[in-house]
Amino acid sequence: MSEQMTPNPLRSLTRKLRSDPRYMAYVLDAYRRQESLSDEDLAETLGILPELVVRLEMCLRPNADSPLFPEQVSELADFSLTDEAQLAGILRQVDSLEKLAEHPGAEAEVETRDDVRLGLNLSGLLAAARDREDDAGVDVPTDAPPAAGGSAADEGPAEDD
Amino acid sequence: MPSQADLKELGEHLHRLLLGQASPVITGRIAEIFLPELLRRLPRIFPTVADQHLIANCAEDALLEYLERPEKFDPARGSLLTYLRLLARSRLLNELGRKNAAGRQEVVAVEEAETVYEVAGGAEWDESVRLSEQQTEQRIAAKLLPIVTDPTDRQVLNLMLDGVRETGAYAAILGITERPMAEQQRIVKQHKDRIRKLVRRKWRRGGRQV
């Protein structure tokens, strides 16, 4: 059964979910826009099949402030074969930008919250979010955003080959 | 392969997990199983409707409506699939009615005398659910199997893709059930990480050509 014969019926659904902050579709779309990635680039960045990106998009977004966050990220990573640390980094990056957008100091750079959701004019906020994560010592090792391509860690020795 | 009884309970099981907000992947599992089935069934109910985009749109909205308010579904009254089908049917009839009022389309709906979401032909839709799930799994598996060739790794991979969280299930495959739980958890995590890494590396290096 080829993908050409049976296009994934879930893609259209995930496009609808991109406007709903409760879903991973929203998070990944926000990240994609922040990093100026195409859909294909996003799959490449995550290093997973496009079908698994769609699968991930349909899942609920873990709350970064919840004690269950690590477990839920782990569950999402297993379900979509995503790198756990990279996924946590993406979630925290999008979270940070949302919080920065709500901060009064960010008003000059972000006109509306919708701008953030659409990922518009966010270069300054993005840099600030990264700085903040660095300062906080967020555990985002190998494939953490903002690296759009593969990281050096991915090209390391293939101990599992 | 799960039995018919297992399949009949699948919708209820996922529904309970959704209500309990037990897992972030439940919405994905529900969508993967039930949306393709809705998309197959609605055109049969509305054979004169040529607008497949409209049908798909109503099926998607029905699923989203359920995910938004799952408490409205009462498993005692029927299956989840029948409930979703009725939601989609209602939306589609409304849309078609609007178009019909504007003189744009003649609507013919086949079957569906049910006024509550009673299960009609339970075995039939159970089989459909199974096929929907299989198709989604096959779509993913077809691309992953050439990458993950070790039989044990494949079994572990299947559990991961099925959303299985219990360490014991993985430990059984890996033959480590006699070890202390902490060690089982560590070994299972190592295996999962290694498989994820393997898939990611090979996919990036050209697995997409498979």
Per-position pLDDT tens, chain A of length 161: 444 445 677 889 999 999 999 999 999 999 999 999 998 899 989 988 888 999 999 999 999 888 999 999 999 999 999 999 999 999 999 998 888 877 756 545 444 444 444 444 444 455 555 555 555 444 444 444 433 333 333 333 333 33
Q: Quote the radius of gyration of chain A (alpha carbons, Å).
A: 16
- B67 falls within a domain: yes
Main-chain dihedrals φ then ψ at residue A23, nearest 5 degrees: -110, 155
The separation between the first and the last C-alpha atoms of chain A, rounded to the nearest angstrom, is 27
* pLDDT on residue B16: 94
* pLDDT on residue A9: 79
- A32 falls within a domain: yes
- A147 falls within a domain: no
* pLDDT on residue A37: 93
Tell me if the bond preceding A146 is cis, omega within 30° of 0. Answer: yes
Band the pLDDT of B29: cuts 50, 70, 90: very high
- B123 falls within a domain: yes
Band the pLDDT of B42: cuts 50, 70, 90: confident
Q: CA B37, CA B48: separation in Å to the nearest integer?
A: 19
Average pLDDT along chain B: 80
- Helix, strand, or coil here: A60? strand
Question: B157-210 pLDDT, tens per residue?
Answer: 989 988 888 999 999 999 999 999 999 999 999 999 999 988 888 777 664 544
CB atoms within 10 A of CB B207: 18
Residues above pLDDT 70, as percent of chain B: 75
Prediction ipTM score: 0.76
Least confident of A93-107, B15-29, B70-84, B171-185: A93-107
Query: Domain count of chain B?
Result: 2
Q: What is the pTM of this model?
A: 0.73
Helix runs in chain B, H state only:
4-19, 26-45, 52-68, 80-101, 122-144, 151-161, 167-174, 181-204
Residues of A contacting chain B (CB within 8 angstroms): 1, 3, 6, 8-10, 12-13, 16-17, 23-24, 44, 47-49, 51-52, 55-56, 58-62, 72, 75-79, 81-84, 150, 154, 158-161
**B15: domain range?**
4-135
Q: Give the gap in angstroms from C-alpha B96 to the nearest C-alpha of chain A.
A: 21
**A58: domain range?**
11-142
Average pLDDT of the segment spanning B21-36: 91
- B177 falls within a domain: yes
B109, pLDDT greater than 90: no
Residue A56's closest chain B neighbor by CA? B28
- B140 falls within a domain: no
- A64 falls within a domain: yes
Band the pLDDT of B84: cuts 50, 70, 90: very high
Length of chain A: 161
Average pLDDT of the segment spanning B18-43: 89
- B102 falls within a domain: yes
Q: Does the beta-carbon distance from A23 to B27 stay under 8 Å?
A: yes
* pLDDT on residue A54: 94
Burial of residue B84 (number of CB atoms within 10 Å: 0-12, 13-18, 19+): buried
Q: CA B3, CA B61: separation in Å to the nearest integer?
A: 30
Average pLDDT of the segment spanning B35-61: 86
- A149 falls within a domain: no
Asked whether residue B103 falls in the same domain as residue B166, the answer is no
Partners of B39 on chain A (C-beta within 8 Å) are: 9
Query: Domain count of chain A?
Result: 1
Q: Give the gap in angstroms from C-alpha A145 to the nearest C-alpha of chain B.
A: 16
Q: Does the beta-carbon distance from A77 to B196 stay under 8 Å?
A: yes
Give the DSSP per-residue string, A81-101.
T--HHHHHHHHHHHHHHHHHH
**Dihedral angle over CA of B173, B176, B181, B185, nearest 10:** -60
Asked whether residue B87 falls in the same domain as residue B27, the answer is yes
B153, pLDDT greater than 90: yes
Q: CA A45, CA A93: separation in Å to the nearest integer?
A: 15
- B49 falls within a domain: yes
